[in-house]
């Protein structure tokens, strides 16, 4: 039963690994949009699963990355396919004054929170099929 619980609520590091793979991000790109120092991020991502489980839920230096996980989880419901997510991340959006979501997310934790809010509130940040 506990392994099912872990599968349902992965550790923050595991979420960041999923995001990096799903969106094909370099360590630099992941660092920018998670607002974590690249060196810290690389160190945490290199840990084994056992080592990750011994860490606090939100490891030091990754506090701002929690917002990225929230956005990723919301995008999974709005844009379930990887292709849709990648397209959404790269296309300029009117709601973001013509900027790409990846660009806005990297500006600051507040900008990341705004992008998350926009998605959660139904602003689709781009054309949707009617």
Q: What is the pLDDT of residues 56-76, one digit of tens each?
A: 999 999 999 999 999 999 999
pTM of the model: 0.84
Beta-carbon-side half-sphere exposure of residue 56 (alpha carbons within 13 Å): 6
Residue 4 has a pLDDT of: 37
CB-based contacts of 124, cutoff 8 Å, min separation 6: 78
Distance set, CA 50 to CA 14, 34, 126 (Å): 11, 23, 40
Reply yes or no on whether the pLDDT at 95 is more than 90.
no
- The single residue listed with the structure tokens 């600051």 is 108
Percentages (nearest 5) of helix, strand, coil residues in the chain:
65, 0, 35
pLDDT for 7-46, tens place per residue? 457 899 999 999 999 999 999 999 999 999 999 999 999 9
């Amino acid at each position: 039963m506990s392994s099912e619980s872990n599968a349902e609520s992965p550790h923050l590091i595991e979420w960041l690994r999923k995001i990096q793979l799903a969106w094909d991000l370099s360590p630099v790109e992941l660092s920018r949009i998670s607002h974590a120092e690249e060196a810290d991020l690389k160190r945490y991502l290199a840990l084994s699963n056992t080592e990750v489980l011994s860490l606090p839920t939100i490891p030091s230096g990754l506090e701002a990355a929690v917002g990225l996980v929230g956005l990723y989880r919301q995008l999974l419901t709005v844009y379930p396919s990887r292709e849709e997510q990648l397209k959404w991340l790269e296309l300029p959006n009117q709601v973001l004054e013509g900027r790409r979501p990846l660009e806005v997310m990297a500006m600051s934790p507040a900008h990341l929170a705004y992008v998350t809010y926009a998605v959660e509130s139904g602003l689709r940040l781009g054309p949707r099929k009617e």
